[in-house]
Amino acid sequence: MKAHRGSHWSEWTSAADRTVLRTIEQHTNLMTAIVVLGLCGWGIVTLHIWFVIGVIAVGAAAYLLGATVALIGALVLTAVGTHMGPSFNLDVTTTLFELVGYALVARLGYGHRVTHATLQRKRMELASHRDQMMPWHVSNEIRTSLAAVRFLLFPVTDEQNGRAVEEAVKELARLENIFQQLEDERLHASDSQ
């Protein structure tokens, strides 16, 4: 009985772990943005306005130039901010907050760049996808066959007999053969390419 309870508990925790991790993965950008905004709020409250401006610059650099350039810029901004501060204060907490803020905003900017490029590529693929065109004679055959089937199944007169149904079945079979030939031609064309 205890083995069964342990198994049930293990299944429940595994399912809960998967749910929590999936939720974290799906909301990583949101949580990162909230942390960056919190750090910017900290920068404003503690009068580190250059940090807030630096966060904007690093995020833009990550989007426009890439994550590596943005992170190098972040290190330069942190070094300059540390050595050029009002009292040359080498405060470890401030430096860590700045580095974390810069790294997170670089991740967001670069992630946005990658997402934008992926969406742009998908749009281009969809735009370049050629329309599936059917030859005019095939379209006429289909239209004629469908009209024939309609008149054979629903004749204008009230006489309905088995011969009309047989002719409709033959016409449908002919139509099916046309589509099968088109499919075979398309397959042979793609095999030869």
* pLDDT number for residue 10: 84
* Sequence-ordered list of residues with C-beta below 8 angstroms from that of 61, at least 6 positions apart, any chain: 69, 70, 73, 106, 109
In angstroms, the CA 64 to CA 79 distance is 22
pLDDT by residue, tens only, the chain of 193 residues: 455 566 778 888 888 899 999 998 899 999 999 999 999 999 999 888 889 999 999 999 999 999 999 999 999 988 887 776 555 455 788 888 899 999 999 999 999 999 999 999 888 877 776 656 667 777 777 777 777 777 766 665 655 566 766 777 777 778 777 777 877 777 777 666 5
What pLDDT score does 132 carry?
64
Return the pLDDT at 170: 79
pLDDT for residue 65? 94
Instruction: Report the candidate in 169, 192, 188 with the shortest Cα–Cα distance to residue 180.
Output: 188
Is 0.85 topped by the overall pTM?
no
